[in-house]
Chains A and B, each alone.
Chain A
Amino acid sequence: MYWVSVITEAGIFAILALGLDVIWGWGGDFDLAFYGYLALGSYLTFVLTIGKPTPPVQYILGFHLPVLLSILLAVVVVVGLAAVIGAIALRNLRDIYFAVTTLGAVSALYLLVENYTPLFDGYNGVYGLINPGQTALNLTYNGYRIVFLGVVLVLLVLAYLLVQRLSRSPFGRMLRAVREDERAAAAYGRPVFGAKYRAYLFGAALAGLTGGLFAIFISAFNPSAWTPQELLVIYAAILVGGRGNPRGVILGVFVVYIGFIELTRYLPSPASRPDFAPAARQILIGLMIILMLRFRPEGLFRERPGLDRGPVPPAPAAAPASQRAAALPGLTSEERARREGDASKAARRRAGKTERVGKTE
């Protein structure tokens, strides 16, 4: 059952990472509020499903809705919050200014939830969402957890297909153009804010959904479950897997969550220092990020542009460098030599190291 739980958690975070990748990988916006959307989705799923609070526990709403309806409503509210934060942060702020603004927004949300107890019972948090629908489905506790894993994996596949379709679509292409050069995108008629905003809301909707799944997964939720560090692990996973490539993103989450967080549990800790293994885990994750950035900054799977396989022209796109330079007639010999140099430089680049030359954020 341990591995069922580990894979379920990785599956949930993979859906979350797919949403974040739309905002950061395609749109280029380093959003630090993102984990807050998962948290809000989680809290709302609780308070819409678990019924009235019994004092001294207190929280808002306290409805007794079917869990699926709760998750749906949670997604709607989360998208609403993202609509407000996005409208402020995406309008004119970019790069570090955008990041700091979203960090401010999520910090405000965090402090509000933690200190204003009537909302979600402050630091104690909400609990009691234990396998909703288990009796109706006539399942044992463990059976339910296995079925839930199946549901998460099906949702992950659906989310992947959805995001993959969007990635290949004109919308995905336009959003990446905005990421690469906003001014050029505007000069060619693209509403920069509109494009980023729609991507932001789409990503937030996936975060709201994962919030609902997370609620069922951990059956209790309080501020310690959504500290800002959690989001950095998601970013690390995207970076490792391949920013902008949905398949890579999913792989990255599984590598980071299972490979590093779970497997490092088996690291031996000397009896005198029981905190050794957890510390070593953090170091390993940090080390992995540094090594990835140094040796494979594009991730395990790089962002793959859709290739054109049309009939024209006859010459293959991967012609040798010299041939390509010769294919530009009427050039002076110096110019041709320069082209050739450029082409072989490009070939070297292709062979390995840097995909996103220069521009990263």
Chain B
Amino acid sequence: MSALLEIENLTKSFGGVHAVRSCTFSVPEGQVTGLIGPNGAGKSTVVDLVSGFGQPDSGSVTFAGQPLAGKRPDVISRLGLIRTFQTPREWRNLTVMDNVLLARRRFASESLWRSLTRARRIRREEEADRAAVRDILERFQLAELRNELAVRLSGGQKRLLEFARIAAAEARLIILDEPMGGVNPVLGARIGEAVRQFAAEGRAVVVVEHNLPFIENTCHQVVVMDLGEVIAQGPFSGLRDNPRVVDAYLGMDQSHE
């Protein structure tokens, strides 16, 4: 069990606000790491800094041995890191099929020149991907909606589409920003199952989430942030005895969460 992602002394300020201060933690492969903390703790900022959607003031992020400093989001993504956003960001006026097909990330066939000169060959090569995507859609119960525009899906189906895209991407590290937002219990169970399966396939998964039962059932380890700092790290069961965590986030009685 080695750490795929190493975050060291990461710091970021927006004007006078210290969003993230000397944040240090690591994410191992094959496990689900929960990232929790009150609103404004800096969780989403950490996700942005790791995935290249923001640049840290100082500190380092190392992914599979490679420093990510100064790299663009698309370059980081190509190294094998996929992140989501708090709200599902489907490509609205593309079909469900195209949404997931794009997540297969066949970058070579997307060159303008190859698209013009090798159209037939590319289409042939794409058949294997289409078949794989159909299987994935089946798994997330979107198969019969595959020719619908993504904009026509319901909120829950958009969540499923997000997971279908992640499954199609076959990333080494998956960062989910609040995957349970606005999700009913049944769908939540399915999402938890998908997250556990990603980890079982050997991928590293980071989940930013406020739904504590979900964190408890899904995460192997939890990183707790408050005011931009990491205040605790370890298995979820140990957190209830940690007075700093209870004070900052869990509160006196966590069943209200």
- Least Cβ distance of B135 to chain A in Å? 7
Does B201 reach chain A (CB closer than 8 Å)? no
* B85 & A173 in contact (Cβ 8 Å cutoff): no
The answer, among A166, A187, A342, for a CB contact under 8 Å with B77, is A187
Q: Which of B9-17, B38-46, B151-159, B208-216 contacts A (4 or more CB under 8 A)?
A: B151-159
CB neighbours (8 Å) of B102 from chain A are: 173-174, 177, 188
CB neighbours (8 Å) of B57 from chain A are: none
Does A355 reach chain B (CB closer than 8 Å)? yes
The answer, among A173, A189, A324, for a CB contact under 8 Å with B145, is A324
The count of residues in chain A whose C-beta lies closer than 8 Å to any C-beta of chain B is 58
**What separation, in Å, do the CA atoms of A328 and B142 have in the docked complex?**
9
Does A184 reach chain B (CB closer than 8 Å)? yes
**What separation, in Å, do the CA atoms of A313 and B138 have in the docked complex?**
8
* B91 & A171 in contact (Cβ 8 Å cutoff): no
Query: CB-nearest residue of chain B relative to A318?
Result: B147
**What separation, in Å, do the CA atoms of A198 and B113 have in the docked complex?**
10
- Given A187-B83, A188-B165, A310-B130, verify A355-B93 contact (CB < 8 Å): yes
Does A169 reach chain B (CB closer than 8 Å)? yes
CB neighbours (8 Å) of A328 from chain B are: 141
- Given A183-B53, A339-B154, verify A176-B94 contact (CB < 8 Å): yes
* A187 & B51 in contact (Cβ 8 Å cutoff): yes
CB neighbours (8 Å) of A356 from chain B are: 92-93
A sample of 20 more A-B contacts (CB under 8 A), given A170-B106, A174-B110, A312-B135, is A169-B116, A172-B115, A173-B98, A177-B98, A180-B94, A183-B89, A186-B52, A189-B107, A198-B112, A199-B112, A306-B98, A307-B95, A308-B134, A312-B138, A312-B143, A313-B138, A327-B144, A342-B154, A356-B93, A359-B93
The list of the 3 closest CB pairs from A to B, nearest first, reads: A169-B115, A171-B115, A184-B89
Can you name 12 A-B pairs with beta carbons within 8 Å? A166-B116, A173-B98, A174-B110, A177-B94, A187-B89, A188-B77, A308-B147, A328-B141, A331-B184, A339-B154, A356-B92, A358-B92
